[in-house]
Amino acid sequence: MQTQAQVVPIRTPDATFADDVLSVIERDGSLRSETDPKLPQETVLRFYRAMVRTRIIDGQLERLQRQGRIGFHIGSLGEEACILGSAAAMRPNDWIFPCYREFGALLWRGFPLQTYVDNMYGNADDVVKGRQMPDHYTGKPYRFGSVSSPIGTQITQAVGFGWAARRKGTDEVVSVYFGEGATSSNEFHTGMNFAGVMNAPVVFLCRNNRWAISVPSEKQTGSATFAQKGVAYGVRGVRVDGNDVLATYKVVREAVERAARGEGPTLVEMLTYRLGGHSTSDDPRAYRAQDEVEQWRRTDPILRLRTHLEALGVWDESKEEAYKQEVEAELKACVAAAEAKAKPSLESMFDDVFAELPWHLKEQREQLLGGPRAKDHH
C-alpha cells in the first residue's frame, strides 16, 4: 500500500470551471442565463428526486454487500448528475448502452426498482436469470442494452446499433457510457473510427471521474482533454461540467438532436468525480489522498442542485426528509420481497441458448435434474 506521501497529487475541481467546459449552475445556485436550458421547474425537481433516489439506493446496496446479503455493487456516488442528466436528454425512441454505473439511467426510463433489486440478488425474477454478477442488468423494453464487464465492449456494440438505425432510415440515436479509462481500449478507437467514417448517430458519453480504478486520469492519456480525442476520427468533441445536471442535459440533448438530423456523432467529456470506491471490492484509500476527495465533495452534484432549488423556494429540509423516507420505505419493501423469492430453477440455465434445444443439451439437462445434489446447493 502507498503511503500518503506517495499518493498522486490532488486533482482539484477547478478544471471543471475551465472556459471550454459548459456549465449552467453557478456555485451559489444561480443560473447562467446564456447557457440555461430553461426547463420547467417540475422537470428540474424530477432530476433532483432521481439523483437523491439513486444515492439512497447506492448506500443501502453497499450496506447489504457488507452484510453478506448481496455479493457485489458498483455505484455512482458523485456521478449522479452526469448519468441522470444525459439519460434525461435522450428521447424515448433512443437507445442507451450502459457501462456499469448507470442503474440510475435505467430507473429513470421506468425500469421497476423491484426488478433492479431482483437482479442484485440473482433470484428467480432476475431478468438475466442469475447468470451474471449483481449490477449486470438489461432492459430491452426500455431501450437499454445489457451490462458486461470487459472494458469498452459496449462502445462498438452501440456504434453498430446506431449504424443499423441509420441504414434503416430511422432517426433513432444511440448513446453509450464509458469511463475515461476505456479511451485506452481497442473498442474505443474502433468505435470512434467507425462512427466517424459511417456518420453513425451515436453520442459517446465519457464519464471522466478522474480514476480508472486506481489509475489517475493524467496517467491515462497525454492529451490535454479526452474530448479532443474525437478530432482524429472526425467526431465532434465537447466538454461539460458533469456535476451540473442542467449543463449535462443541455449538451447531450444538443448532441442527440444533431445526430438525429444526420450531422454525425459527438464525444461528450463529462467532468465529474468518483467519490466512493470503484466498487465494493475496492478501497480507494490505498491509492488516493483523502484531501482530494474532500475538495470534490464540496462540489457534490446533489448539493449543488439543491442549493439552486432552495434559492427558488421549491425545496426545503422537510421535503427532503419526507422524500428520503419515501424512497427508503420503497427500497426496504423491494429488498424484503427479493430475499423471499426462490433461486432461478436449475433447468433455466439451458434456456436462451438455442431456438430449439439440441439433443445433447436435453440429455445434459435430464442428467442434471436427475442426478445427486448437495443439500441447499444449485
Q: Hey, how many other C-beta atoms are within 10 angstroms of the C-beta on 188?
A: 24
Q: Nearest-CA neighbor of 225 among 9, 19, 83, 7?
A: 19
Q: What is the distance between the alpha carbons of residues 24 and 357, in angstroms, rounded to a whole number?
A: 55
Catalytic residue among 49, 189, 258, 287: 287
Q: What is the distance between the alpha carbons of residues 172 and 165, in angstroms, rounded to a whole number?
A: 6
Identity (one letter) of the amino acid at 72? F
Q: What is the distance between the alpha carbons of residues 118 and 337, in angstroms, rounded to a whole number?
A: 9
Q: What is the three-class DSSP state of 224? A: coil
Catalytic residue among 53, 73, 253, 278: 278
Catalytic residue among 210, 236, 274, 288: 274
Sign (positive or negative) of CA dihedral 306, 307, 308, 311 = positive
Does residue 136 carry a catalytic annotation? no
Q: What is the distance between the alpha carbons of residues 255 and 201, in angstroms, rounded to a whole number?
A: 9
Does residue 378 carry a catalytic annotation? no
135, 356 Cβ separation under 8 angstroms: no
Q: What is the distance between the alpha carbons of residues 87 and 218, in angstroms, rounded to a whole number?
A: 27
Does residue 278 carry a catalytic annotation? yes
Q: What is the distance between the alpha carbons of residues 78 and 333, in angstroms, rounded to a whole number?
A: 26
Q: What is the distance between the alpha carbons of residues 314 and 329, in angstroms, rounded to a whole number?
A: 23
DSSP H or E stretch at residue 239: strand 236-241
Q: Nearest-CA neighbor of 109 among 164, 54, 68, 190?
A: 54
Task: Record the cell numbers describing residue 373, joined without a space.
Answer: 445434489
Q: What is the distance between the alpha carbons of residues 97 and 173, in angstroms, rounded to a whole number?
A: 11
Q: Catalytic amino acids?
A: 274, 278, 287
